[in-house]
Amino acid sequence: MPEFPEIHAHARRLEASLRGTVLQRFEPLSFTALKTFAPPPEQAHGAPLQQVTDRGKHLLLAFGEVTFVVHLMQGGRLKPDTSKAKRPRNGVARWHFADGRRLLLTEAGTERKAGVWVVAGDPLTQEPLADLGTNADQVGADELADLLAAGSRRLHTFLRDQRALAGVGRRLANEVCHRAKLSPFVQTNRLDAAQVGRLHAALTGAIADGLAAEEGRDDMSASKDRPSQVHGRTGEQCPVCGDEVREVTYNRYTVNYCATCQTGGRILADNALSRLGVDQEDWGRGRRQR
């Protein structure tokens, strides 16, 4: 899934290409494309694209008083439509511009979760953006410390919670935990000041690296081309210590980590108990909670 660096760089790219171009019409291509009933997308017809911004994992296309909020989800892409197809493959929605260009939202696969919200007024105070936490690139060290201390949650789960921090997905969560030399399953309210400091530096660094990689590109990268030291690298060597990168399944998602760097050498077992709703031992500190 595209995360903050990919989305942010893509917003800049789209704005550079299309700013000032008048929208002729918006065309939903699937039943699930449009997530809102009012205002109608037609309200943006005839208005120029003023800016393209981003919030968390969302792209915001502002036409006058109306903003289209786009969520790409897992396999979505928003890019120039170069086909002449009336019903483009995997098409979700299309923006037709007065100069003849078109922007096409596609979603690969069968999930059909990518979509478009049309909002009037300030989009940041409305669905689907209203409940998002601070953008991950903007969070300060003190704010991060407060967020971590506010609850008892697994670090990896916390990092991916869009209401805590917006813009972090599985790749960044894996990379941030590895950079910070913290177990993905350490409980957030048990982190000490030094660990929180490492975490903040890791978050900032991983986002900066992601942006640097993404900003030099003509189009959004594929998942496999994004910078990673452990994410998606099961069985490869950890570039820091040479140990093997491992994976563990937790609550139906796969987490990559390096045991030497992050868990004091402890190899994590797939969390069978989580399927029964039972919390498991705190692997990160090697001690049991109960």
* Bridge-based pairing state of the strands 58-63 and 115-120: unpaired
Nearest distance from C-beta of residue 241 to Zn ion, angstroms: 3
**Of residues 166 and 238, the one with the C-beta less far from Zn ion:** 238
Q: Is 267 in the site for Zn ion (CB under 5 A)?
A: no
User: What part of residues 20-79 is at the interface with Zn ion (CB under 5 A)?
Assistant: none
Indicate the SS3 state at residue 238: coil
DSSP, residue by residue, 152-175: --BHHHHHH-TTTEES--HHHHHH
User: What part of residues 220-259 is at the interface with Zn ion (CB under 5 A)?
Assistant: 238, 240-241, 243, 258
Nearest to 280 by CA among 250, 248, 247: 250
Of residues 17, 74, 152, 260, which one binds Zn ion by CB under 5 A?
260
Rg (C-alpha) for the chain, rounded Å, is: 21
CA distance 243 to 235: 9
Of residues 103, 172, 261, 268, which one binds Zn ion by CB under 5 A?
261
**Binding track over 171-190 against Zn ion, x by CB under 5 A:** --------------------
Nearest distance from C-beta of residue 205 to Zn ion, angstroms: 16
**Of residues 58 and 233, the one with the C-beta less far from Zn ion:** 233
Nearest distance from C-beta of residue 226 to Zn ion, angstroms: 19
Nearest distance from C-beta of residue 235 to Zn ion, angstroms: 13
Q: Do 62 and 50 meet the contact criterion of CB atoms below 8 Å apart?
A: yes
Nearest distance from C-beta of residue 265 to Zn ion, angstroms: 10
Nearest to 248 by CA among 272, 227, 223, 224: 272
**Of residues 53 and 229, the one with the C-beta less far from Zn ion:** 229
Task: Give the orientation angle of helix 4-18 with respect to helix 193-215, to 10 degrees.
Answer: 30
What are the residues binding Zn ion (CB under 5 A)? 238, 240-241, 243, 258, 260-261
